[in-house]
Structure 1
């Protein structure tokens, strides 16, 4: 952060808080990628398939209701085949004013081993699919976060405005590209219900305490230079009956603070390109000159 230009957020906010619901679809019999097996057990993995199906059938409604009660919109990291498999979910997201961006076709189709043209085809397919439901493709998160080094070049060439594949900063940041423009918007593997609950086996109380600690620190630091906090959620995890109340409690905690901006990912990108991108890029250029 040393020497970095101070960001100026809308309304003088000291931080942006946004929620990224990962609404995904896992195939019943996905193709096996030699770099990563799509299911932890022998296919068909009935247990894991049905557990994830719970999120789309039941969990989504719970998280959508809690967010709507508090006037917080979602920015959906979408397996774009949900458009065809669960059109009622897409209709509800549109009714709520949520953004849809691409998390690939299926969450079982990794970018590991894909050719550049295969990657490009996924991006184009995502753009065309979202257009059918009245959404533009502005944001991107590679399935299971499996991008190649060239993926960001393809995204910029195809008109994507921001990516969530990088976890290196608490502010949006321009990426160094051969051609075009693309920014990284802060996403999170730390403030993410799947790692918290499934990888680290945290209790509801521990999850809530971690979320509050993350928010408190970023809110305090945001007084000097505004920060962006993302809470990444999955309906099959946070939409469970025993976890939904901790989600509601955390949203109430956030909403009790002044000077917080509640944008979508698309709105973060629009603000940044319009008012911050050139300033920060110029500053980065001075650092490159010094190097």
Structure 2
């Protein structure tokens, strides 16, 4: 029998059926709040991570998969920036803190575009689960400080690397000043989470409208992924007639940034932004609008 490693149930939030909630309204009568999350990441050279092929993952170094991921910061993110700017979409970046030191040109460009930066761990080779409390506390403090120094603004949002948490993560995030999190992919509206101090709001993130599960696990074609994005939006738009919804598009520049994939992302943004009552927002803007109605 597996040895228990923590409580058998969480106490972070109460069950809340969406059909029983008061209507949620977005600014200027918008029905859907859209946020796009580029995951901009740094990977350590001496260990495996997200891979396009398993053939070389046992080698150190794994030049094939490492360099495939490295395409994202060298080429893919710049193509994403061009497409998103075309449609007036600002990114809310899930940012590995190590990106700040390794790729400062990306920070400079994102700031010029008015993008938001949220914490995404130190790098994508180090996850958050199974860490001692003091170790995790120090790690989160260093990440918060590193992003603040590099971007010029304290990050509010957080997405764990691979959406991982320990039992202490939410409390430690709130303790340091993070106040919203995307790890819990269980809703289409924000909701409050209980933490020991400060405040924490869960914001809808998607593990399915997400290019890693779609392309690498689900073997979707670029065209079918673009259609998934449009279908997701169309249904959310209809459902939001009575109460606002949040739609996230979760992307990695080493995947979506390739020419044969990004044309379908471009087409999906064109489809979404053709509707006037869509709010193109950042994570913080969505959370603030939600909190203003839920006090």
- What does 1:149-228 correspond to in 2, within 5 Å? 149-228=167-246
Aligned length: 271
1:66 matched residue in structure 2: 83
Contact 2:121–2:128 (Cα < 8 Å) also in 1: no
Shift of 1:62: 0.4
Deviation readout 1:99-143 (Å, 9 max, x if unpaired)? 011101111111122111221122211221122121211000111
SS at match of 1:17: strand
How many Å separate the matches in 2 of 1:174 and 1:167?
A: 14
Contact 1:99–1:135 (Cα < 8 Å) also in 2: no
Deviation readout 1:167-189 (Å, 9 max, x if unpaired)? 11000010123333100000110
Shift of 1:276: 2.4
- Structure 2, gaps ≥5 residues long: 1-17, 50-55
- Structure 1, gaps ≥5 residues long: 33-38, 279-291
Shift of 1:71: 1.1
How many Å separate the matches in 2 of 1:72 and 1:140?
A: 20
Runs of 4+ in 1 over 6 A off after TM superposition: none
2:254 matched residue in structure 1: 236
How many Å separate the matches in 2 of 1:154 and 1:175?
A: 13
Shift of 1:30: 4.3
Moved more, 172-181 or 64-73: 172-181
Residue 45, structure 1, aligned to residue 62, structure 2 = yes
Contact 1:161–1:269 (Cα < 8 Å) also in 2: no
- What does 1:1-291 correspond to in 2, within 5 Å? 1-30=18-47, 40-132=57-149, 133-273=151-291, 275-278=292-295
Contact 1:14–1:223 (Cα < 8 Å) also in 2: yes
Residues 179 and 135 of structure 1: CA distance in aligned 2, closer, same or farther (over 3 Å): closer
How many Å separate the matches in 2 of 1:76 and 1:123?
A: 17
- TM-score of the superposed pair, with normalisation by structure 2: 0.88
Give the superposed CA RMSD.
Answer: 1.6
